[in-house]
Structure 1
């Protein structure tokens, strides 16, 4: 999906498989497990005919993006989608991981990225939490093959019903929920809440639907053909209904990195609904 800033663009954000000995064997879980969505800050245009054909062949819902179709050239499509905002498409991964690292409390031993896609955030999570076990999940097995090859020390699991991973101190979800059908979002959030350890936090980043530039970029971006943007109120409601207590909500990604002199000011603008994305975190009571 595309991580979208106030003045221009971004893309990135989606789930994982247990580590084995080779890149191919690192992806555990059956390919048949395919409910949910794939993310890692994904981006989108109209669904290409080839993608529609392969998605329908797999029994996917009509019009739904199948990220298996984009796994080989995802990075290139992402760079193309975000080049007006930042020449370095890795900027958005660093930006968000820095935010959650600085906000983390207590020891972080296990980290889950739900919807990790091709693993663009995984290396930054490993650097931010060097003592933690990093697990990524996604519904796209093809994307996870790429993630496993590029991140041999992380673990990956194909996301699906009945997947048991244990509890995590930190859960990171970047630009994933707008790919999930509204009727399925509550069930996904409930699953994530069950995976969250006591004292841990779930950190969700989403595109800001109040930002006209964000909306325009989503409407023309290659992986967002199925995107249904969430307002912050909906995300807060999903977290509360999953039994979680809100810790923060802040708007972010106000300016492109070339305006680096302005970046220190962003932390004072979190209340202003003009950032390209917003971040909501929550945890269990007590």
Structure 2
């Protein structure tokens, strides 16, 4: 989707998203919150001090409140191609948060470096031929010892494919498998890339979710994360 397309869909984004995932038994907030909870656990496990966070492709701010709760002392920068989406993002929170529009090709150098860069289901909207160059830019914006964490839809999960096919703003989405996304990260210069598959149980089976950590190797989860440094 181009910048103008994101601007058009921004006001209806939450409703469209909710309709596309209703069969999961969860709301939009659940999917944002689990990702940030995973990020917080990763930071604690790695002993990562997080003073500056970049939400790459922040959109309308679904991850903003969870990020603030997970990293209460950090400055958060929200980057997106859609000015309208960033306007809605500002309505979520604005304290110790900066908002940056960009052209989808060149990350603003003035943003500086980050201890943690987070992106949630963004790259399937970006033309594949741009992925490696953008990933290289993200790597250059990491502070020494910083970590990049990417979440994406898993095309090997049939329910994920169904949800994407029935979501208007995903009309032009191109899903990427975890192994292929990992290869692109390596090509961009990341040396250590770990893969975890997520979301195996829908809302009605939520009691089984404690088992998910033992299933992270199984490539049928609805989404996956790649953690890289």
Question: Does the TM-score normalized on the shorter chain lie above 0.5?
Answer: yes
Of structures 1 and 2, the one scoring higher in RCO (CA 8 A, sep 6+) is 1
* Aligned Cα root-mean-square deviation (Å): 1.5
Q: TM-score, normalised by structure 1?
A: 0.74
Are residue 269 (structure 1) and residue 212 (structure 2) matched?
no
Alpha carbons 1:172, 1:202 under 8 Å: kept: yes
Structure with bigger helix share is: 2
Are residue 122 (structure 1) and residue 64 (structure 2) matched?
yes
Question: What number of residue pairs does the alignment pair up?
Answer: 222
Deviation of the 1:159 alpha carbon = 2.1
Deviation of the 1:168 alpha carbon = 0.5
The superposition leaves residues 197-225 of structure 1 with CA deviations (integer Å, 9 ceiling, x where unpaired) of: 11111000111111111112212211111
In structure 1, list runs of 5 or more residues that go unmatched. 1-35, 39-54, 56-65
Q: TM-score, normalised by structure 2?
A: 0.92
Distance (whole Å) between structure 1 residues aligned to residue 158 and residue 203 of structure 2: 20
User: Corresponding residue for 1:98?
Assistant: 37
Are residue 139 (structure 1) and residue 73 (structure 2) matched?
no
Alpha carbons 2:151, 2:226 under 8 Å: kept: yes
Alpha carbons 1:37, 1:180 under 8 Å: kept: no
**SS of 1:262 mapped into structure 2:** helix
Instruction: Return 265-274 or 219-228, whichever deviates more.
Output: 219-228
Deviation of the 1:87 alpha carbon = 4.1
Alpha carbons 2:198, 2:221 under 8 Å: kept: yes
Instruction: Return 201-210 or 230-239, whichever deviates more.
Output: 230-239
Deviation of the 1:259 alpha carbon = 2.0
In structure 2, list runs of 5 or more residues that go unmatched. none
Q: 2:140 aligns with which of 173, 194, 198?
A: 194
User: Corresponding residue for 1:241?
Assistant: 187
Q: 1:169 aligns with which of 115, 126, 133?
A: 115
The superposition leaves residues 83-106 of structure 1 with CA deviations (integer Å, 9 ceiling, x where unpaired) of: 221342200011000001001132
Deviation of the 1:247 alpha carbon = 3.8
Distance (whole Å) between structure 2 residues aligned to residue 151 and residue 252 of structure 1: 28
Alpha carbons 2:20, 2:164 under 8 Å: kept: no
Alpha carbons 1:37, 1:176 under 8 Å: kept: no
User: Corresponding residue for 1:110?
Assistant: 52
The superposition leaves residues 152-185 of structure 1 with CA deviations (integer Å, 9 ceiling, x where unpaired) of: 2221100232512111011111101111111111
User: Corresponding residue for 1:157?
Assistant: 100
